[in-house]
Amino acid sequence: MSNKRDKAQIYVRRRIEAVAGLLALGIVLLAVRAVDLQWMQSEHLKGLAEKQHVRQYQTMAPRGAILDQKGRVLAESVQVPSIAAIAGDVAPEYVNKLAAALGISRGKLLHKLSRTDGFVWLARQVPPAVAERVAALHIPGVRQESEWQRYQPLGPQTGHLLGFVGIDGRGLEGIERTWNKELTGKPGLLQVRRDARGHLLPNGVWIHKPQPGQSIQLTIDASIQSIAYAALAEGIRVQHAKGGSVVVMRPKDGAILAMASWPGFNPNNFRHYHPGQWRNRAITDVFEPGSTMKPFTIAAALQSGRWKPTTKVFCENGMMHVADYTIHDDHKLGWLDVTGVLVHSSNIGAAKMALDVGSDALYDLLEQVGFGQRSGTGLSGESPGIVLRPERWGPVETANIAFGQGVAVTPLQLATAFSVLANGGRYVRPSLFVDQLGQHAARRVISPAVDRAVLRMLEAATGEDGTGHKAVPVGYRVGGKTGTAQKPNHHGGYSKDKYNAVFAGIAPIDDPQLVVVVLVDEPQKSIYGGQVAAPIFRHIVENALPYLGVSAQQPNQGEHDGAWQTMAIADQADLQPATLAGMSLREVRRFATRHGLHLKVHGSGWVIRQQPPLLSVLAKGDELEVWLHE
pLDDT by residue (tens digit) across 437-491?
Answer: 888 888 999 999 999 999 999 999 999 888 899 999 999 999 999 999 888 887 7
- Whether 521 and 542 have beta carbons less than 8 Å apart is answered as no
Compute the distance between CA of residue 607 and CA of residue 585 in angstroms, rounded to an integer: 8
Mean pLDDT over 29-43 rounds to 68
For the domain made up of 222-551+559-566, give the CATH fold. Beta-lactamase (3.40.710)
Query: What would the pLDDT profile of 5-16 be if each residue is shown by its tens digit?
Result: 666 777 777 778
- CATH tag for 580-629 (out of 3.40.640.10, 3.40.50.300, 3.40.50.880, 3.30.10.20): 3.30.10.20
- Beta-carbon contacts of residue 30 (< 8 Å; ≥ 6 apart): none
Q: What is the pLDDT of residue 134?
A: 84
- Domain boundaries along the sequence of the chain: 55-216, 222-551+559-566, 580-629
CATH architecture of 55-216: Alpha-Beta Complex (3.90)
The amino acid at residue 487 is: K
Mean pLDDT across the chain? 84
Q: Per DSSP, which regions of 285-340 are E strands?
A: 312-314, 319-322, 325-328, 335-337
Q: How far apart are CA 176 and CA 182, in angstroms?
A: 9
Binned at pLDDT 50, 70 and 90, residue 44 comes out as: low
Q: How far apart are CA 18 and CA 474, in angstroms?
A: 116
The SS3 call for residue 84 is strand
Catalytic site residue from 223, 226, 245, 291: 291
CB distance 434 to 217 below 8 Å: yes
What are residue 408's DSSP bridge partners?
386
Q: Which amino acid would we find at residue 344?
A: H
pLDDT for 410 beyond 90: yes
Q: Which of the two residues, 334 and 27, has the higher pLDDT score?
A: 334
Dihedral of CA atoms 427, 433, 439, 443 in degrees, nearest 10, equals: 0
Are 222-551+559-566 and 580-629 the same fold in CATH?
no
pLDDT for 569 equals 31
Q: Are 627 and 177 in contact (CB under 8 A)?
A: no
Confirm whether 114 is a catalytic residue. no
Q: Nearest-5° angle of CA 280, CA 285, CA 286?
A: 150
Sign of CA dihedral 435, 437, 443, 446: positive
For 112-166, how does the pLDDT look when each residue is reduced to its tens digit (9 = 90+)? 888 777 778 787 777 878 888 888 888 888 877 777 888 888 888 899 999 888 8
Q: Which of 136-145, 307-316, 327-336, 519-528 has the lowest mean pLDDT?
A: 136-145
Per-residue pLDDT reduced to its tens digit, 514-566: 999 999 999 999 999 999 999 999 999 999 999 898 888 754 433 333 333 33
Containing H/E element for 297? helix 294-303
Contacts of 368 (CB under 8 A, 6+ apart): 420, 427, 445, 446
CB atoms within 10 A of CB 540: 30
Q: Length of the chain in residues, anyone?
A: 630
Q: 27-31, 36-40, 85-89, 498-502: which has the minimum mean pLDDT? A: 36-40
- Number of other CB atoms surrounding residue 100 within 10 Å: 14
Query: What is the residue type of 378?
Result: G
CB-neighbour burial class of residue 391 (10 A; exposed 0-12, middle 13-18, buried 19+): exposed
Nearest residue to 295 (alpha-carbon basis) of 375, 349, 253, 246: 349
Q: What span, in angstroms and rounded, lies between the C-alpha atoms of 72 and 607? A: 19
The HSE-up count of residue 607 (CA atoms within 13 Å, CB side) is: 27
Burial class (CB in 10 A: 0-12, 13-18, 19+), 547: middle
Helices (H), 81-139: 95-102, 106-114, 128-137
Give, as one character, the DSSP assignment of residue 76: E
Q: Evaluate if residue 259 carries a pLDDT over 90.
A: yes
Does the bond joining 127 to the residue before it have cis omega, within 30 degrees of 0? no
| Whole-number pLDDT of residue 298 | 97
Strands 564-566 and 553-555: antiparallel
Give the pLDDT confidence score for residue 394 in this predicted structure. Answer: 93
Q: How far apart are CA 578 and CA 5, in angstroms?
A: 120
CA angle 412, 418, 420 (to 5 degrees): 110
Residue 346's pLDDT band (boundaries 50, 70, 90)? very high
- Percent of the chain residues past pLDDT 70, beyond the cut: 87
Cα(45)–Cα(50) distance, rounded to whole angstroms? Answer: 8
